[in-house]
Amino acid sequence: MPPRPAAAHADIDESIRESPPGHYVLAAAIVDDDQADVLRHMLRSLIPRRAARFHWHEVPAANRLEMCHVLASTDLRHVVAVATPLDPKRQERVCLSATSWRLNDQGVYRLQLETRRQRDANDRRFLLGEQRANRLPLALQYEFGHPNQEPLLWVPDAVAGAIAAALAGGETRYLEAFGRSVDVLHMRLGLGPEESRTARKPGARDTAGSPGFTSEGLAPPARPQSAFLDVNATARRISCNPRVPRSKVGAPPAVHSRPRRPVHMGTGPGAQQHDPSARQAIAARRRPHPLPRQC
């Protein structure tokens, strides 16, 4: 696709279809600055005098189709990002990032979004944070406009409505009117809890390190047979140890508890008196074990 002229901006609007599996549509219309005034006059002539604006959900089907044919007769180009299923925490960020980078490659220097009034301050902080995190192009400028005063915002509203109607209800006549002037980017935000058990996701890894699968719902890897204790091999090693008597082969090693206080042997005035049986037990522990007859 050839790059657009440098003096071009894009108007952005969104549309949401909650019918399963759910679609979030973010449309951007690329408008040359030298053609903006002519396009505004043409758009105002398409709506009744008493109407303040064009809104996809408020006009009949005949007016929708007329708007699509008029926009298709111009040289406007459109970039649309479609995310499914709905994810309120990610859908807007992912689609705005993908659309902004595509518009930046086509020479767009400014984006105009529909104002949300009280939320404009939060939107500005969000856009600034995304630019600092390098998720949005630093060269793009962002501003907000109201569709009652800016007819150019009607264009992405019609494009997003045509895409959403084709995805949700299967009504493709609006989208077919645009021809090849719409560039659609498809984003798969994630899978549901039931689908993620058996489906593949690119770039994901499971707990066993196999690429391409989600970690949710997978059984842990089987323990290798060599990791289990081999009783026969352990008994053979113990029987060849000269410090272990043959009578204790196969038995767990004895744990000898040491006295908490040191044992003082001797007959001096400071020596402690011990039971002879305790002395015999200590001497027996120090006596070396007899060698085994064969290994």
Per-residue pLDDT, 223: 34
What are the Cα distances from residue 264, in Å, to 83, 168, 282? 81, 91, 12
What is the residue-averaged pLDDT of the chain? 74
Mean pLDDT of 30-43: 94
Distance of CA 124 to the CA centre of its chain: 23
Q: Binning pLDDT at 50, 70 and 90, where does residue 36 land?
A: very high
* pLDDT over threshold 60, residue 277: yes
Distance in angstroms (rounded) separating the CA atoms of residues 63 and 56: 9
How many domains does the chain fold into? 2
* pLDDT over threshold 90, residue 81: yes
Mode of pairing for the β-strands spanning 77-84 and 211-213: unpaired
Lowest mean pLDDT among 103-117, 136-150, 171-185, 266-280: 266-280
Q: How many residues does the chain have?
A: 295
Question: Does residue 241 share a domain with residue 154?
Answer: no
Lowest mean pLDDT among 25-29, 76-80, 164-168, 211-215: 211-215
Distance in angstroms (rounded) separating the CA atoms of residues 17 and 161: 10
Q: Do the Cβ atoms of 137 and 34 come closer than 8 Å?
A: no
Mean pLDDT of 142-169: 93
Question: Does residue 215 share a domain with residue 138?
Answer: no
Which CATH number belongs to the domain containing residue 139 in this structure?
A: 3.30.420.10
Question: Does residue 49 share a domain with residue 18?
Answer: yes
* Structural domain containing residue 213: 196-251
The H-assigned helical ranges of the chain are: 36-44, 61-72, 91-105, 120-132, 154-168, 173-178, 231-239, 276-286
Question: Does residue 201 share a domain with residue 180?
Answer: no
Lowest mean pLDDT among 77-86, 128-137, 167-176, 184-193: 184-193
| Residue 265 domain-assigned (yes or no) | no
Mean pLDDT of 117-129: 87
Lowest mean pLDDT among 94-98, 219-223, 264-268: 219-223
Condensed to tens digits (0 to 9), the pLDDT of residues 127-146 reads 998 999 888 999 899 999 99
Question: Does residue 219 share a domain with residue 135?
Answer: no
Other Cβ atoms within 10 Å of 66 Cβ, number: 14
Per-residue pLDDT, 262: 53
